[in-house]
Structures are given as C-alpha cells and as structure tokens.
Amino acid sequence: MTVTSVHDPSHREALWELEDAFERGDLVSLFGRCTVAYEGRAASDLGAGDRLLVLKPDGAALVHTDEGRQPVNWQPPGSEHHAAVREGRLRVRSTRNSPDETLTVRFSDVHQLSAMAVTGGRDLTLHGSEEDLRTRILERPDLVEQGFEPRETERPSSAGPMDIFGADADGTPVVVELKRRRVGPDAVGQLARYVRALREELGIEDPAEGGEAGPKRTDSPDVRGILVAPSVTDRAAERLADRGFDHVALDPTPEE
C-alpha cells in the first residue's frame, strides 16, 4: 500500500523515482509536458503538450490527453520501460520485439509523479456477452425457433468454428451465428461462409447455382442459416434475404 509521490521533481529526482518504481513493479502515473514519438507497426509524432503517462509493470505504456477513451499513443504489454535524462529532458522509452516497436516520451517538465504497487482483484464478472446469448439459447432452444435442436457448439468446419450447429423441426441442418448486438453485412458474410462450408462437407449443391435463375429452392435437403442478433441493418437484411437466411431477434440477456 506504499504510494510514492513527488511534486515538480527535477529530472534527476524523477529518474530515481521511476527506476525505483520499475524495480518495485509499481503502477506509475506521470503528469508533465512532453513530446511523443512512436515507431513500429506505424510511425507517429506528437508535439509538445501536457499529458498523463501511465506505465504498467507488465510493460504497457499509455499516453493520455484530456480527451478520448483511447490513449493518443501507447505501447502494448510485454514492452520494457527505460528512463534516462538526455539533453536536459527526462526520456521514458518503452520497447518490444516482434513486432519491433518503440515509444519515446520526452519530458521538458515533470509536474507530478506517483507510483503504487497494485495487486489482486482482476476477477471481472461480465454479463451480456455473446457467450451469455449462447447459454440462453442452449437452455431454451425454442427462442430460436419451435423445434430447433442444438447439437454442437463451436462445431469445426473448413471455414472455422460455427457458433451453434443443430437441426430444425424437419431435421434440416441449421447453422446459427450469434451476435450480442445489432449487426451489419459482415455478419451475414460470416454466416454464409459457414453454411457454404457445411454444404460442401455434406455434398449439398449450393441452391444459388444449379438452377438457372431461381433464388431459392425448397424441394431438396439443404443447410439453413440463422442469424441471431438483437437487430440487423437494412443492408444486412438484404443480404440475408439473398442468401435465404433467417434472422431471429434476441438479446444476450432477457429484457426486464
């Protein structure tokens, strides 16, 4: 529970505190005026300004301005922090390999530096995820459709694992794709890949080919695709119709 805190330190003082904090494995919060340079997957430069630098013992580094949920610059976990005084400025550098990337923060002024050992309590319980939606359906398959019978989750296919594989009341194979929120055309493409893969696997001809123009065919065994999501965009609905797939409106958690 030891918190280190220095106000308007000299660069030397800040350097000592930083090195001690790295040594102890502390979480560091540093206010100051700085420039930021990044080079790696991309490259960026940020002119002088007041910012908050957060340094984590796992190697993550975050540069925050007064706006936005996202840091303006950062370095992912697994990096290594190094501090030094160069050309009269405090330089904090985080580096990692594969991919090679470097974040360099140069402080002309350090206003405030705090560091604390942070332990325990990372056990977040989250509700309303796609997994919750799956659980809900497995407990009550009729929410998808009368007579729907789930057979397998994460069923492998040549196009990747499908969320739920099952059969409808007629025994026709059904691929169910789950989304926890409103979806666009990309989700339909995903479902289409799984359905296509399953058709191929089962030796079922694609109904879009075969006939010369008929957009749908119902007179032969087929594979059905069902997209379960709270709602879909217009373009997604079009593409669902094109493919002959169904949409079932369902939330990950029952609405109150």
Partner DNA sequence: CAATACATTTCGCTC
Partner DNA sequence: GAGCGAAGTGTATTG
CA-nearest of 101, 59, 102 to 78 is: 59
Out of 14, 17, 21, 56, the only residue in the binding site for a copy of itself (CB under 8 A) is 56
Query: Which of a copy of itself, DNA, none is residue 208 near (CB under 5 to 8 Å by kind)?
Result: a copy of itself
CA-nearest of 66, 54, 63 to 27 is: 54
Instruction: Output 88 or 121, the one with its CB closest to a copy of itself.
Output: 121
Contacts of 26 (CB under 8 A, 6+ apart): 4, 57, 115, 116, 117, 118
Residues facing 106 on adjacent strands: 35, 91
Instruction: Output 23 or 127, the one with its CB closest to DNA.
Output: 127
Out of 52, 85, 143, 237, the only residue in the binding site for a copy of itself (CB under 8 A) is 52
For residue 13, which phi and psi values (nearest 5 degrees)?
A: -60, -45
Contacts of 207 (CB under 8 A, 6+ apart): 214, 216, 217, 220, 222, 244
Out of 87, 98, 124, 170, the only residue in the binding site for a copy of itself (CB under 8 A) is 124
Q: Per CB under 8 A, does 20 bind a copy of itself?
A: no
Query: Which of a copy of itself, DNA, none is residue 31 near (CB under 5 to 8 Å by kind)?
Result: a copy of itself
Q: Per CB under 8 A, does 23 bind a copy of itself?
A: no
Q: How near is the Cβ of 37 to a copy of itself at its closest, in Å? A: 10
- Is 79:94 a contact under the CB 8 Å cutoff? yes
Query: Which of a copy of itself, DNA, none is residue 58 near (CB under 5 to 8 Å by kind)?
Result: a copy of itself
Cis peptide before 99 (omega within 30 of 0): yes
For residue 163, which phi and psi values (nearest 5 degrees)?
A: -60, -60
Structure-block tokens of residue 188? 């339909």
CA dihedral angle for residue 181, residue 185, residue 187, residue 189, rounded to 10 degrees: 170
Q: Per CB under 8 A, does 5 bind a copy of itself?
A: yes
Residues lying near DNA in the complex (CB under 7 A) are found at 38, 40-42, 44, 60, 68-70, 73-77, 97-98, 101, 103, 124, 126, 128-131, 156, 159-161, 163, 177-182, 184-186, 190, 193, 233-236
Site residues for a copy of itself per CB under 8 A: 1, 3, 5, 7-8, 25, 27, 29, 31, 41-52, 54, 56-58, 60, 62, 64-69, 72-74, 76-77, 109, 111-112, 114, 116-129, 159-160, 180-181, 185-186, 189-190, 193, 208-209, 235, 252-253
